[in-house]
Structure 1
């Protein structure tokens, strides 16, 4: 019998995380509702393979492990909460719009502070500035990743998304510790969780938790935060309640192409945990439409309220054609200096990371039960507002 077989409630997962960390105090109960929805689907649906169910529960326990350790660190070092987070820069937009590239380019600037993949996975103790990319935890994860990439190469399997251990990651992996992140939807068989997250979840607690998380990390490695997550778009009003002086890079792309690419991105995680029957009966069209419509509608509404000045519009076709021109314009908009050394680092990163270095991904809207005609009303206002170059049939 597996250790995970008897797990059915949020308290069961918390107990497992507590056993692994020897910590029992947690900062709030805001994570319970989202986890309860995930567990209910796991325990009532035949869609999951036994290994898939175990993987999701293990991921849930790891999320609470991080939350317990962050809270434990704050209890011992309450002074970290006294340092403000000022004028953070958030990159958002629809998924699959070039947000990863821009986050890596901005990370080449030593005057910016990125949320690095490895430190999001093991945040405590927080690293110092000098050890951000040489901490043993970072080096160990880099070695693990080398082995993974070798296996991927041998299998000749294209990867739709990859993050280096010492590179920037998404705020999603902080949000998932409050169980309010679309990363959980990536492993589920129905749109139920995504609908709750988009329409009903109180995201204020999630951004408050993210603020504390960042305060812990910046206590030893300070800087002006440069953060990234496409679905900040969906929760932008909650974000502004916690980070009222935030600035935004809004990544734009052909929404039909981005929708097909999101479906392609989600195919891999779902295939890792769902039965073949569940995968073939997925409600792809409904879920993709509901998610993507809010990724454009909500930031449009907020922009009307707070004005254009807080946003830089980054177009995917411009990033693909001349990324350094886009970077220079971002720096002009932000009022930040761009020195020659940083620009060289950015060019070197681009040269070392061509777009299809992990293989070319092929997909169509029809794979997910969608068509341009069906999506046209959803994206009409978005396409009328911005000068987006359409890329042809996805």
Structure 2
């Protein structure tokens, strides 16, 4: 697989050639990021037959979306005059109740969420009058049939659906500076680049510029009062997030880090089965140890150094959210001084009733990660103490 061949394929498919190399779209760093990613895929990904077909298609899809979004912005410069008003951003780690909270908060008509179908196919921009019936919804849902056929147990771990809220890593996939790739595939060199060089060289800041451009298109003909956003990787890049969205309001969910690491490893091992037949469980746990630990530590730093103001964030403990989901949602509204109406509570209750996860989650143990529990406890002691995170039974 060659990056230039993917680029040429996207150009041929669209008839467009402007990838937005100027600062308006975050600069030309996307190409360097793509080169690192493709090299990591070629050298390290251990793709199976499905993965060999799927990955070039996915990367070309991101390039096609990028070309289309740049062209749309060039033709409609007024999009950038419409503000992104104080987004609400969930920044908790994976497996801490963020998805359930995300989907519950999305039931508020005041919240505009990026749904999976529109993130996958953002053009033409979704329209309010056809938002619930757009034919792209069925197209997006059909793609999950492959997941169901290869890893049918995945829905017991994580909800899937074209009209469910989608994470920001899928948006930043179009600038190839995104945790979506190491989440889905074994690309350790790319992950190392993402956690270090991409931050230091300004690629992360550029990805948030692109993120804004993406949201501007989505809201252009289907606006909302407030964007509701989510991804655990925001915890790693909080200075860049608040630089782009200084009025953002944050929700951070907390859970025993050992449980987070064990559950995340299990989730990713299940997800990666789609593109690879060679999953080394303990290697995966070690690979993601740094990203989880770094995210936790950086959230403490952001509180102590003033990057995040106290009135800008609401903290929620995992056990409280899971035991009483509506109380967790209400705590967000109380924290920001918003009215939690009976109608809103009814909407959220109905969603919880009709979207129960298939099965009862997934079995996992910390021991299977191969990580040293004493080291985890030592490395995360500052985070646990700062946020008062309870330690769960093993």
- Where do 1:164-203 residues align within 5 Å? 164-201=161-198, 202-203=203-204
- Where do 1:89-104 residues align within 5 Å? 89-104=88-103
TM-score, normalisation: structure 1 = 0.90
Aligned match of 1:312: 314
Residues of 2 paired with 1:303 and 1:84: CA distance?
27
Secondary structure in structure 1 of the residue aligned to 2:138: helix
Aligned match of 1:4: none
Q: Which moved more, 1:310-319 or 1:330-339?
A: 330-339
C-alpha distance 138-286 of structure 1, shift in aligned 2 (>3 A): same
Aligned match of 1:350: 352
Secondary structure in structure 1 of the residue aligned to 2:380: helix
Measured against aligned partners, the alpha-carbon deviations of 1:202-240 in whole angstroms (never above 9, x if no partner) come to: 211100000011011111111211111111001111111
- Where do 1:52-201 residues align within 5 Å? 52-142=51-141, 145=144, 147=145, 151=149, 159-201=156-198
Residues of 2 paired with 1:156 and 1:77: CA distance?
44
For residue 75 of structure 1, report the CA deviation from its aligned partner: 1.5
Asked if the contact 2:95/2:260 (under 8 Å) is kept, the reply is yes
Residues of 2 paired with 1:275 and 1:222: CA distance?
42
For residue 150 of structure 1, report the CA deviation from its aligned partner: 6.6
Aligned match of 2:16: 23
Residues of 2 paired with 1:319 and 1:195: CA distance?
32
C-alpha distance 281-134 of structure 1, shift in aligned 2 (>3 A): closer
RMSD: 2.1
Asked if the contact 2:137/2:162 (under 8 Å) is kept, the reply is yes
Residues of 2 paired with 1:243 and 1:158: CA distance?
33
For residue 180 of structure 1, report the CA deviation from its aligned partner: 1.1
Asked if the contact 2:97/2:253 (under 8 Å) is kept, the reply is yes
Asked if the contact 2:157/2:362 (under 8 Å) is kept, the reply is yes
Asked if the contact 2:316/2:328 (under 8 Å) is kept, the reply is yes
Secondary structure in structure 1 of the residue aligned to 2:85: coil
For residue 389 of structure 1, report the CA deviation from its aligned partner: 2.7
For residue 87 of structure 1, report the CA deviation from its aligned partner: 0.8
Note if 1:289 corresponds to 2:289: yes
C-alpha distance 269-38 of structure 1, shift in aligned 2 (>3 A): farther
For residue 253 of structure 1, report the CA deviation from its aligned partner: 1.1
Aligned match of 1:213: 214
For residue 74 of structure 1, report the CA deviation from its aligned partner: 0.9
Aligned match of 1:262: 264
For residue 384 of structure 1, report the CA deviation from its aligned partner: 0.5
C-alpha distance 30-260 of structure 1, shift in aligned 2 (>3 A): same
Residues of 2 paired with 1:190 and 1:169: CA distance?
22
For residue 314 of structure 1, report the CA deviation from its aligned partner: 1.4
Aligned match of 2:273: 271
Aligned match of 1:336: 338
For residue 286 of structure 1, report the CA deviation from its aligned partner: 2.8
For residue 190 of structure 1, report the CA deviation from its aligned partner: 5.0
Residues of 2 paired with 1:50 and 1:252: CA distance?
38
Note if 1:11 corresponds to 2:4: yes
Asked if the contact 2:249/2:312 (under 8 Å) is kept, the reply is yes
For residue 25 of structure 1, report the CA deviation from its aligned partner: 1.3
Residues of 1 paired with 2:361 and 2:332: CA distance?
29
Measured against aligned partners, the alpha-carbon deviations of 1:157-176 in whole angstroms (never above 9, x if no partner) come to: 65422232112110010111
For residue 269 of structure 1, report the CA deviation from its aligned partner: 3.5
Secondary structure in structure 2 of the residue aligned to 1:90: strand
Residues of 2 paired with 1:347 and 1:119: CA distance?
25
C-alpha distance 372-215 of structure 1, shift in aligned 2 (>3 A): same
For residue 90 of structure 1, report the CA deviation from its aligned partner: 0.4
Q: Which moved more, 1:181-190 or 1:14-23?
A: 181-190
Measured against aligned partners, the alpha-carbon deviations of 1:288-312 in whole angstroms (never above 9, x if no partner) come to: 2111111111121112213321110
Q: Which moved more, 1:341-350 or 1:189-198?
A: 189-198
Residues of 2 paired with 1:311 and 1:85: CA distance?
18
Aligned residues: 381
In the alignment, structure 1 segments of 5+ residues that lack a partner are 1-6
Asked if the contact 2:79/2:216 (under 8 Å) is kept, the reply is yes
For residue 335 of structure 1, report the CA deviation from its aligned partner: 2.1
For residue 374 of structure 1, report the CA deviation from its aligned partner: 2.4
C-alpha distance 122-158 of structure 1, shift in aligned 2 (>3 A): closer
